[in-house]
Structure 1
Amino acid sequence: MSAWNVSVLTGATSDTEPTLLVNFGTAKYIFNASEGMGRAWLQSHHSIRKTKGLFVTAAGTHRCGGVPGLLMLCADAAVPAIDIVGPYGLMHYLATMRSYTYRSTMVVKAVEAPTALVSAQPAASPSPVFKDENLSVYSIPLYPSVDGVDIGEPSTRPLKRKRSASPPTASKRSTPPLIDRAVESTSPVSPTLSVQARRENFNPTSLTGADAQEWRKLMLQEMFPMQPPPKADPSTSKGAKRRANALQEPADEPPPPQNMTFAPDRKYARLPGLVAGGGVDPATLPTLGYLCVGPSVRGKFDVKRAEELGVRGPLRGRLTKGETITFEVDDGQGGKIQRTVRPEECVGPSEAPQAVLILDVPTPAHIPSLLASFTDSPFFAKYRSKDENIRKEHPLHAVYHLCGEGVLEDERYKEFMNGFSDETHHLISSREHTADKITFTRSALVQAKLHQLDAEMFPLPKSKQSPPRDITSITGLPAKAAPAEPNILLHVRPVRPPVQDELAREDEFNPLVAAGSLPELSDSVREKVAAVKAAVAERMGRNSPATAPGDDVVITPLGTGSAVPTKMRNVSGTLIQIPGHGSILLDCGEGTWGQLVRSFGDEPDGVWQVMRDLKCIFLSHMHGDHHMGLSKILMMRAKMDPPPPEPLYVVGLRSHLMYILERQELEDHGLSNPNGVVMILSDALNWRFPRPYGRNQVEDEPFMNQDRSYEHAKAMCRALGLSSFTTVDVAHRIRCYGVVIRHNDGWGITFSADTMPTDNLVKAGRDVTLLIHESSMSPEEEDLAREKAHSTSAQAIDIGRRMRAKYLLLTHFSARYPGMPPRQGDGSSGGPIIGIAFDFARIRMGDMWKLNAYLPAIQHTFNEFGEDDEVEIDLTKLQ
């Protein structure tokens, strides 16, 4: 019952960041949820159903990019409640998700851990930030040294922040006070704030300190409005008691309010800022370490001794619970005497609870704070001791080190590691010492097979099978130090050394790369591939197509799935590369950065050159599968040195642009960088006339100036060589735009976004060269497509025919089709030449006919994969 283990679910790769899974069998606890974590979970053997807690070590995309998708997976798996714990800024991060995240079937409670450093806490034992029947979790805030001041000095411990420039705003924001206690999202909203929120002139950006935090909590309650279940009565079942204890609600606390009365547009007003001026230097924000202490285990019951003492029946159960019992026994002379038996007379000593430690140390500047946490706190010091007597009472089985650049080789850090018992295991995640292997191996394996059909159109995903530096080259590490590689399993109780998880699915791709091999094709697939290649070669030799404007434009689908990622497909993202001008990214779902790296490689002339050339990101609508990768793209671009030579224009709805501003509070998105982000309101580029917003949605928002957006759009068109960039309102569940892009050379591309068939797209995109259209459903599923506000493949083909598009690329396939997606027709009947989009394909617009010709061989290849049963998880339920 008390057995538990820790698995490394994902590692530090281009696809993912480190995620740890603590598993008790009856409950699971996740540590960090970066982009790609949900997709990695889907290809693992782990079930999501018993998830109870999520703990993040930093508030930002780096550690939280996969939180919305994780919450969706949990809700769809009927998880009734989940606790989220993180550092300062967690509530702000969660509140930025309010425009695209909603679930009424699951309770979500968020807690910001105390920001006071360890020495400011009670010397005996700090309070856990989370506690249930399995785990007691204690937080350790880690701050960087600021301006050369050692944060380890007690006199300098209050939070100290630098301010970074931010876009101009009329609101003045003051720095919130240091929060010295955990802040829970389920505590009641202030009555005073409730009154303020109903006032006509109320603006959340005016809130500061505790009121600002109250507003963020209210936003989370709006996203997850279900009330928690009532407290269980002591007489109820053990299961009910466990569920009640897991919620950790004070007995006298009322349930959170539902549907609080305030104007609907207040929910979408800009959030209160974290610091004055609306900006924060991410380098000064804290990370968290977590000490996870398992349950105490009762000693073994001595049955023989109990018999000798006359202890029988229910009395034995009372002893095992730690009670002293008194009962009557025969005195041997026909009378009765009372006997008292203490637990220790029949029950062996309890087993000390095992523990693991998780540390996120992003820079060497965080090391002094870490050292102080273990020298100044007697509680944490007990878990870092070589004294065997202390270790028996406070055993620490393992430390997981999430190390940023330069940390692991720092002599101070190595000394810190060696201060633990020699029996403690050290599992290390460090990009400097980790191979960048492919995470999503099934998708890569498909690409490797298609590579044998056309190496140029289906290039192999890029990876690095060996680390930049071997971890064994670092001197002075503890003897039991090893890399925290995916699928490393550590049994904490019973205590065992780290091993490879035997249940993990076999990696079919990376060993082939390491050996320099390609996957073998079956005889039937090889024959079909050979026949198709011969037919294409014959056509090219017989009648090579004449070069037409736009033939050299390259389309790279980065994600061709819908709603949620699958083993085969990532969610929406399509890169358009215009030679000599730059690139456009159409939508930017979670994991887009990883897909770019796998497509072009983590080299100066690879993904970093793509980022320098990227001049426009178009975001069609606020459903999460179309924009949740935006923050990661902007963060990585902002780190480039030297910076890109031209601005990046982000074209989106008001909610997209507000989202960028709010995320800038926590991490640098490059809004104030030279050649940084320029925001364009997509409504201002409407093909007919600008669509309006409500009156309260234009105040204090410079990007809502449509004339300014129009001028920025003209500059963007000049940079890309375009004659026009026009948004088209399409038929989806929420405000959604497609786009028509026309180039000065005469070619054009129309992108449908998510939509039912609409005449708007036909009229606005007439005679374009290429239509990229969503094709979520099969031709037989028109009713389902209408219900979900999507299109069937037959409807997409009809739109292309009516539009008189030369080519049609179908994409955005439902997870109901894990293999080859449905299609109908091939363009031979006078309609457009049809191609099907695949992740990582690199398609010259002039080679669309080739992609069409390859479809029989591609179909044959997919037929042999034997994918799992159909899956349908609709991200629109999040809205």
Structure 2
Amino acid sequence: MRNYVQFITTPTGDTPGTTVMIHFDSKRYLFGNVSEGTQRACTQTGARLAKVSDIFVTGKTEWATVGGAIGMILTLADVTGAAAADAAEKQKGKVARKGIDGEHTTSSDLKPTLNIHGSSNLLHTLATARKFVFRKGMPVNVEEYYDDRTPRYSGTDIPPSWADSNLNVWAMPVCPAGVNPKGWASGDKSPGKRTFDEMDESEEDLAAKFDRDNQMRKSIVGEMFNSSWRLDAMEETHISQVDMPATLFVRNRSTRQIEKYEGPMPGGPEPLPDIKVLVRKPWPGAMISKLPSTSPSPVAMSWIVRNHPQRGKFQPAKAKQLNVKNPRQFGELASGKSVIADDGKTVTPDMVLSPGKQGGGMAIVELPSADYVAPLLERREWKSKEVMDGIEAIIWILGPGVIGDQLLNKFVTENKQFKHIVSSRDVCPNYLSMDSAAAATVRLSQLDSDRFPLLVHDNRTLPQPGYGLKDFVLPSNSPFIAADRGLKVQLEPSVEVQQDALVPFVNTGRVIRETDPEVIRLADQAKKEISSDVFRSELEQKQRDIPSKDAEIITLGTGSALPSKYRNVSATLLRVPGYGSYLLDCGENTLGQLRRVFPPEELREVLHDLRAIWISHLHADHHLGAASVIKAWYKTVYGDNPPQNTPLHDADLLARLEDSLTEKRLFIFSDKGFIQWLREYSMAEDIGYSKLMPVTVKWVQASKTTEFYIGDSREAQILSENEELNAKFAAATGLQSFQAPDVNHCRGAKALVLSFPNGFKFSYSGDARPSKSFAEAGKGSTVLLHEATFDDELQSDAKAKKHSTTSEALAVGLEMGARRIMLTHFSQRYQKIPNMDALDGKLPALEEDADAPPPAADAADEDKGGQIRRGTHQTKEHSTASPSIPPAEAIDRAKRGDVKIGVAFDYMRVKVGEIAHLEKFTPAFLKLYEEKEAEESIAPGDELEPDEKQKKIQEKQEKKKTKGQKHDQKNKPKVSKEKNKKDVRQEHQPAGGEPMQL
């Protein structure tokens, strides 16, 4: 049976780790790193994650190696859960058709389990996500392995650590020389495995505590992915004890029916009644206030992988000679069973089978630094014939500079019987790994190079620049083979390296040549217009009163829900000269996007200049990239050897602000859930938490103010009530004021309004329905950046998912009186942009944030009563009136040029004073992004085999043809209802927990 290993990623700017996939017909296995960007790389290359049931993580448990795991698990849970439900439905129909009595198969019966294997702290890392991750479609089982230097097995027999019907796997946990984690050397999976006579009492106590703590973490992870929690579970509590925001219910005394409570709310201006109310019971993970403590682990994982031995061929002649004549017995012998011959003698398989063959295999080794080389090479597995028989290749995943280690090179030179493939920044170039997004940016750069510079990459220079690596060139006679994307190592029928499936570099020349000439014509027309004296003079006159025209908006990720080939998830960098840089949301692989936008030296400047990170809400697509950005900031500002941690325990905001003026600190503003996550994860890895200013932000409806809490402090402080505090805050952050009104999306979701001393005002919606309170808080904004997830014809879906349509986003901006409006956070299924010219002159009214009860599809948001109470502005009374600008007049005003509107793309860099330039390119952009080939509209989750894919393309083309006919008839843009429904279903599958609402 043919099977092989294939490289999905090698280290680049936006795929920091190395990932390989082992292919069997029925199953896939991931080995290596599950770094940020891994899921997107799989989408790009067409790797089928749906068949993955086991992930074996190499290296240490750090965000650099597992930062993409949470996002990948969420996607796998959704895909496999949907597949299980579909299979159960088919089985139910089959039973009904055949008229069979008995219980039907349910999706729960068909749940596949995802097994993740790695080193210590893997459980802790996953458990930190319990407040924002909840799925019921796929149980997750985590197995941790620890340092094992003491031989546990007598003789040479070393049984595999794990096995299934395809593979035997040996775990090789390794610590650097001279380091013993937690003071004990454990067995394979747990210090508790050691016998009592192998440890003294203190070691026994440590091992017992470790086991108890890990059992707690294991239970939490189990509840995150395989809980019996139900959405309709309610609990009774006194109204004064309700943690707001929440949806409250009461039981009608007359009808005994449960109804929504409509009276005075906690935190509101009116006195509370002395009653008990019903609130939704939180899912189990959300009820765990904190995790057991841990510390960074030095253990790095490597693995030896081998196919099972293959039995020899059955030889009928020999069987007949041994008086076995029954054909049924032939089959039993061929399958490895003994039989009784006609003469009464036992015939065993080895008597009638030709010599078998040992299964082919390889080692997958990660060495983070040279300190790991000697301990790894000293492991007994290398000398065990039982383990190494059939192993003919080694994949080396090496940290910076490790490839030059003398001991490693000596081992490789002395063991040329192995094929040595190496993956590291020393020998693998920084190619463009997200081909589709890169090609799209090349096209955009062809149209407007000022806003869309080419992405940072280098297909030739080695080692990769920007990482401080010493020059290194693989000698021509080196046994090492440099890894490359698509490189295969065949394991069966023989072990061999194959280069027939290598993925070529992005051919920018071909991309440019294939651009439609009409698109180029429209872009040239835009360039001519914006370079004209008339345009420049008029623009200068109209923008004379706009402050910070040189402020730059870099839209790093502009897609919704999950990464796709064309758009990454949410992140925007705001750079305001003279004040600082601010990162607004930080979805997975934001650091990778930064590395593609900025050359190494400029990126260091950006990180030095970074004042704050804002996380709008706890949905994973808005913050899973924060840890790596924070660590990059930490390393840039404090170097490889940062000063001793000096965390401040003083909860007083003024004292902390004064400290931040003398020692550079990065502000993290968010709801308390994210601050808690940062603190808990920082126990497992030093990402620089001691140098942060973690600030919990709370919008208070009654006083119409933003409260600030330092870390876990319960002592709130309000900037507007303390002049000295305001002055220190401005000096530390560069901001004059900071408002964060609640918006209607999920529990804790907030919009943001940043005001600067020179009058520049920037408002950001995060994910939200169009909000009156946000519009009021952002009055007079220079720029509004607002989500526009859905097209206007999908308004009902926008309401159901608590997102905004294009017109709704514009309505907020026009109600604010924003001078410039940027739209972002678009659907991932289709590579298109909203058409402003298609707007019909009508704008929807803005909503009270708590007006509409959440629909069933969105009820998962209410795990803890997630309806968001409306926010209010600090200085003005809350308005309940309709927008002050009549809708038709608003559209006309925008089109006349009073308001400039831009559409965001990944990697785009636009200055505030040049958003008007961007608007001129809209016709060229629309032409460029007219519905592409049907192949491009296949969703990231639609992992198809080639024949399935061709069929899917044909179906899409037929729909496109039909749609085109309707377009001609009605002469205006339309999207088929069938396509709309599929878009929504794939974009946001409802499930049993808040994170499904993205």
RMSD: 3.1
* Corresponding residue of 1:487: 486
The question of whether the paired residues in 2 share the 8 Å contact of 1:717 and 1:725 is answered with no
Using the alignment, how far apart are the partners of 2:18 and 2:366 within structure 1?
10
User: Helix, strand or coil: the match of 1:640?
Assistant: helix
Deviation, structure 1 residue 59: 1.3
Matched, 1:144 2:176: yes
Q: Percent identity?
A: 26
Q: Cα distance, 1:560 vs. partner?
A: 0.1
1:671 aligns with 2:689: yes
Alignment of 1:440-589 (within 5 A): 440-469=434-463, 473-474=473-474, 479=479, 481-502=480-501, 507=505, 509=506, 511-512=507-508, 518-538=512-532, 539-541=534-536, 543-546=538-541, 547=544, 548-589=546-587
- Establish whether residue 317 from structure 1 lines up as the match of residue 331 from structure 2: yes
1:92 equivalenced with 2:124 (yes/no): yes
Provide Cα deviations, 1:183-227, integer angstroms capped at 9, x if missing partner: 699xxxxxxxxxxxxxxxxxxxxx953322222112102201258
Q: Which deviations, in whole Å up to 9, do the C-alpha atoms of 1:140-168 show, x marking residues without a partner?
A: 111112xxx4x6xxxxxx4257xxxxxxx
Query: Which shifted more, 353-362 or 677-686?
Result: 677-686
1:834 aligns with 2:834: no
Q: Is the 8 A contact 2:563 2:569 kept in 1?
A: yes
Cα deviation 1:817-853 (Å, max 9, x = unaligned)? 3333465549761143211100111111111111111
Partner of 1:82: 114
Partners of 2:449 and 2:490 in 1: how far apart? 44
Distance 1:543 1:262, change over 3 A: closer
Hey, what's the Cα distance between the residues in 2 that align with 1:127 and 1:712? 64
- Cross-structure match for 1:608: 604
What are the residue-to-residue correspondences of 1:621-770 with 2, within 5 Å? 621-640=617-636, 642=638, 646-672=664-690, 676-683=691-698, 688-689=703-704, 702-707=712-717, 715-770=728-783
**2: distance between equivalents of 1:318 and 1:136?**
24
CA change 1:723–1:74 in 2 (3 A) is same
**1:642 positional shift:** 4.8
Q: How many residues align?
A: 757
Superposed counterparts of 1:797-808, under 5 Å: 797-808=810-821
Question: What's the counterpart of residue 415 of structure 1?
Answer: 410
**What is the CA-CA distance between 1:264 and the residue it aligns to?**
6.0
Flag the structure with higher helix content: 2
* d(CA) in 2 for partners of 1:765, 1:813: 22
Distance across 1 between alignment mates of 2:703 and 2:434: 42
Shift of 1:653: 1.5
Q: Which residue of 1 aligns with 2:36?
A: 35
Distance 2:449 2:485 in 1: 30
Cα displacement string for residues 676-714 of structure 1 (whole angstroms, at most 9, x for unaligned residues): 211111217889546899xxxx9x964443239998886
- Give 1:182's aligned residue: 189
Distance across 2 between alignment mates of 1:713 and 1:361: 49
Unaligned runs of 5+ in 1: 152-157, 162-176, 186-206, 228-260, 329-336, 384-389
TM-score where L is the length of structure 2: 0.71
SS in structure 1 opposite 2:789? coil
Matches within 5 A, 1:351-430: 351-373=357-379, 377=380, 379-382=381-384, 394-420=389-415, 422-430=416-424
Distance 2:805 2:906 in 1: 20
User: Which whole-Å CA distance do the structure 1 matches of 2:438 and 2:132 have between them?
Assistant: 30
Q: Deviations over 1:328-381 (max 9, x none)?
A: 2xxxxxxxx4455332332112211222111110111111211221xxx2x442
Checking the alignment, whether the CA contact within 8 Å between 1:426 and 1:478 is kept in structure 2 is no
Alignment of 1:209-358 (within 5 A): 209-226=210-227, 267-275=287-295, 280=296, 285-306=298-319, 310-328=324-342, 337-338=343-344, 340-358=346-364
Q: Which moved more, 1:775-784 or 1:210-219?
A: 210-219
Query: 1:532 aligns to what SS in structure 2?
Result: helix
In the alignment, which residue of structure 1 is the partner of 2:181?
159
Paired with 1:745 and 1:110, the residues of 2 have a C-alpha distance of: 52
Contact 1:654 1:704 in 2 (8 A): no
Q: Compared with structure 1, are the counterparts of its residues 859 and 493 closer, same or farther at alpha carbon in structure 2 (3 Å cutoff)?
A: same
SS of corresponding position for 2:515: coil
Residue identity matched to 1:617: I
Distance 2:575 2:350 in 1: 75
Q: Name the amino acid aligned to 2:988.
A: D
Instruction: Tell whether 2:930 aligns with 1:863.
Output: yes
**Structure 2 contact 185–191 (Cα < 8 Å) conserved:** no
Where 2:524 maps in the other structure, the secondary structure is helix
Residue equivalent to 2:204: none
| C-alpha spacing 1:438/1:687, structure 2 compared with 1 (3 Å) | farther
Question: CA contact under 8 A between 1:769 and 1:806: conserved in structure 2?
Answer: yes
SS at match of 2:698: helix
CA 1:349 to 1:708, structure 2 compared with 1: closer, same or farther past 3 Å?
farther
Counterpart-to-counterpart distance in 1, 2:391 and 2:150: 19
Looking at structure 1, the residues matched to 483 and 46 of structure 2 have their Cα atoms a distance apart, in angstroms, of 18
For the structure 1 residues 122 and 632, does the alpha-carbon distance in structure 2 shift closer, same or farther, using more than 3 Å as the test? farther
Q: Which amino acid aligns with 2:364?
A: I
TM-score under structure 1 normalisation?
0.81
Rounded to whole Å, the distance in 2 between the matches of 1:764 and 1:770 is 13
Partner of 1:9 in structure 2?
A: 8
Q: Gaps spanning 5+ residues in structure 2: where? A: 82-111, 193-207, 229-280, 465-470, 643-662, 842-889, 940-982
**Equivalent position SS for 1:683:** strand
Q: Report the alpha carbon displacement of residue 310 of structure 1 after superposing the two structures with TM.
A: 4.9
Q: Is the 8 A contact 1:574 1:585 kept in 2?
A: yes
Give the Cα separation in 1 of the matches to 2:315 and 2:9.
44
